[in-house]
Structure 1
Amino acid sequence: MAETGVALGFLEEAENWQLQSHQFPSKVGGKPAWLSQLDIPGLPELECGKCHLPTAFLMQVYAPITGQDRSFHRTLFVFCCKTPDCYSRNDSRCLKVFRSQLPRRNDFYPYNPPSDEDPNWTERDPGVHSSGVKLCKLCGCPGQKVCSKCHAVSYCSKEHQTIDWKHCHKKECCKQVPSSAVPSPFLFPELELVTEPEEHQKEESSQTVGDAQNNVECSSLVDDLAETELENMAMHETEDGKVFQKFKRRIASEPHQVLRYFRDGSPLWVSSEHVPVEKGIPHCSCGSRRIFEFQVMPQLLNDLKVDSTDASIDWGTLAVYTCADSCDQGNKYSSEFIWKQDFTEQK
């Protein structure tokens, strides 16, 4: 991951072996490819702060820090609640983010980088992590609740056991049949997250909001907004309108970006409302301040097919802030800070 300038993230199809832990992937959906194999977060750490149900794995970003051995391998994991009612306006309690990092010499991975070619990888038992930790059959997070009938699978919660029972385990339990290869509806589609540098764009400060709307090709996200709302923004040159137009101009050349990585930079906000001040971003447990690292773009909602006019999970952008020192907490997964900003409601 680039540490200078902005790197944009896009989604691509990938082979299963490319998205496993030993390949240090960046990806969205599926089950987490845990970095550290010890002290993996589970419940209650992964509970939604509103409904208290288990959150779902959304994405992970592999972001090592050059020149810092303790962060030679470093991955950030984002989880989100799948209950639409939990997505109150500008409320981040339905989201979680964790940081895991390891030095180059560690107990889990070889010193040399992995091969870019298929290593004839054989999938291990998905219900047991390589460290021996039992994983939830549904979500891939630690789970100690064992099916009382077959004792062959584990779950993190009663809720996930119920979902999996209805989805497939009812047909498999106590029968000599392989586990279903059909992905659970609880999981988001699994895709690789690849990055490339953002091409420099020269800001034209003299350009009016109306000119910007005429000259810039709108992204697929903006196309989904009601035409009357866009006209209203163009007619009323409010501060919020200026911020939104800046957002549109910046993403117009790459409308399919799902992530913007800019460690110690600034997010690209979608609104002038609900922008955090420095004092509003809590310090890391080590005492260091947190800095902006990356943001999740609204295009991801379209790509994951959860963007809907009906009730659905939703955000304008998600900004992730992490420890400025990327402090060493051993094998522990460190909780970091995430800020949810929604689009301004049109009156």
Structure 2
Amino acid sequence: MAESAREERTSSVDLGFVEETESWRLLSRFFRSKVGGKPAWLDLKSVPTASELACGVCGKPTLFLLQVYSPRTEQTTCFHRTVFVFCCRTAACHARNSGACFRVFRSQLPRRNDFYGFEPPDEDTPPAEDEVWQAEKVWNLCCVCGCGGAKACARCHQVRYCSKAHQVLDWKAGHKAACGECSITLLFPEFDLVTEPEEWREEEEETEDAGKDGEEKLREYEEYMRQLRHNQDPAGGPGLKEKDLEAAARQETEEDQQFSVFRRRVRKEPEQVLRYDLGGAPLWVSRQHVPGTEDIPDCPCGAPRQLEFQVMPQLLNYLQVDSLKDSMDWGTLAVYTCVNSCDQGTAYHPEFLWKQDYSETALTGTS
């Protein structure tokens, strides 16, 4: 997401889409954006600890959700720069309009650093084993989640864990019988996260809606909700009831008009899972629970934070979470980072996430 390329465009938004790819392409040395799997740490020596990654609700370690590689070449300290997002997989922790179960970190490095070559790596050939410097070679990582693993199995002393919670899960999954190997996979499915410029003009929205009667708009609204909540769900989980869809479509009051704006904007690229718009404004799903300036805390360095990107609800379709009793959910996740991308001497800087859910009217048809 180079700044020079963005300046040449009329639109400031890059759209993110998931793609399957070979796992070696997602190693740290290739500086990729990715979803799921284990984190491809940027700074390989000082990864976040279990306490830093703890869910603000249940206290258990959060799991890696995604990372966005977003360098700022105008700053020497940010030649390499990645923002990491983690979330708790316990559905009960995902309270409405609360980001307490999410954690965000920013990591950055100058072009000359201790881990990567000055020139870009060859991305066409898998690296030899001795060419790969991964975090696990210099840092003890949890075999379950890939985060800092301060605890070791007392029997084999080979497998590491970030917390007692992940050690218990691994033992229940069979580690006791196969000591020396990790037996459980809690991780979200792994994908490459690729971006392309959004092609959008305000007049397109007006042209598309011109001449449409109320019934046609109603049908489009219903169809979008079906796709988002049922038809596009690869796990085949239950969607909203038909009567709820109909009620939601007919309850498009003033507060729900923002959802219509959201729907029209994303329907041209319905598979988008991320919108990158540094310094821009999020595309909210509702007029409810929109943060004011006072709601976005300043960076500890004293500088304000600005929007960097937002995670779209379509990502949920790829996470295989609907088998949970009460699946995690969100309308959008807006990630804010230090406007100066400061460097305060720590490898991973905490940043801020604002979670917005769909309005209750849009989902249930009740005001």
Normalising by structure 1, we get a TM-score of 0.90
AA of the residue aligned to 1:304: L
Residue 49 of structure 1 pairs with residue 56 of structure 2: yes
Q: Are the aligned partners of 1:126 and 1:135 in contact in 2 as well (CA < 8 Å)?
A: no
Residue 119 of structure 1 pairs with residue 121 of structure 2: no
Give the alignment's Cα RMSD to 1 decimal. 2.5
Report what 1:323 is aligned to. Answer: 338
CA 1:101–1:157 in 2, change beyond 3 Å: closer, same or farther? same
AA of the residue aligned to 1:101: Q
Report what 1:266 is aligned to. Answer: 281
1:115 offset after TM fit, Å? 1.1
Report what 1:204 is aligned to. Answer: 206
Residue 62 of structure 1 pairs with residue 77 of structure 2: no
1:80 offset after TM fit, Å? 0.3
Report what 1:186 is aligned to. Answer: 186
Alignment of 1:36-115 (within 5 A): 36-115=43-122
Q: Are the aligned partners of 1:209 and 1:245 in contact in 2 as well (CA < 8 Å)?
A: no
CA 1:209–1:261 in 2, change beyond 3 Å: closer, same or farther? farther
- The runs of at least 4 consecutive aligned structure 1 residues that moved more than 6 Å come to 123-128
Whole-angstrom distance in 1 between the partners of 2:251 and 2:316: 28
CA 1:123–1:226 in 2, change beyond 3 Å: closer, same or farther? farther
Alignment of 1:1-347 (within 5 A): 1=1, 3=3, 4=6, 5-122=12-129, 129-130=136-137, 132-173=138-179, 179=181, 184-201=184-201, 202-204=204-206, 210=214, 212-214=217-219, 218=224, 220-221=227-228, 224-307=239-322, 310-345=325-360, 346=364, 347=366
Work out the percentage of aligned pairs sharing the same amino acid: 53
Whole-angstrom distance in 1 between the partners of 2:131 and 2:173: 22
SS of the equivalent of 2:224 reads coil
Whole-angstrom distance in 1 between the partners of 2:195 and 2:123: 17
| Per-residue Cα deviation, 1:1-51 (whole angstroms, up to 9, x for no partner) | 254311111111111211111111111111111001232111211000010
Report what 2:236 is aligned to. Answer: none
SS of the equivalent of 2:143 reads coil
CA 1:266–1:229 in 2, change beyond 3 Å: closer, same or farther? farther
Q: Are the aligned partners of 2:41 and 2:135 in contact in 1 as well (CA < 8 Å)?
A: no
CA 1:185–1:129 in 2, change beyond 3 Å: closer, same or farther? closer
SS of the equivalent of 1:36 reads coil
Whole-angstrom distance in 2 between the partners of 1:246 and 1:192: 28
AA of the residue aligned to 1:100: S
Between 1:234-243 and 1:287-296, the stretch displaced more is: 234-243
1:222 offset after TM fit, Å? 5.3
Q: Are the aligned partners of 2:85 and 2:104 in contact in 1 as well (CA < 8 Å)?
A: yes
Whole-angstrom distance in 1 between the partners of 2:246 and 2:35: 34
Whole-angstrom distance in 2 between the partners of 1:327 and 1:204: 41
1:237 offset after TM fit, Å? 4.0
SS of the equivalent of 2:306 reads strand
| Per-residue Cα deviation, 1:65-123 (whole angstroms, up to 9, x for no partner) | 13222111000000000111111111110000000001111111101011121233328
Greater percentage in helix: 2
Normalising by structure 2, we get a TM-score of 0.86
CA 1:12–1:100 in 2, change beyond 3 Å: closer, same or farther? same
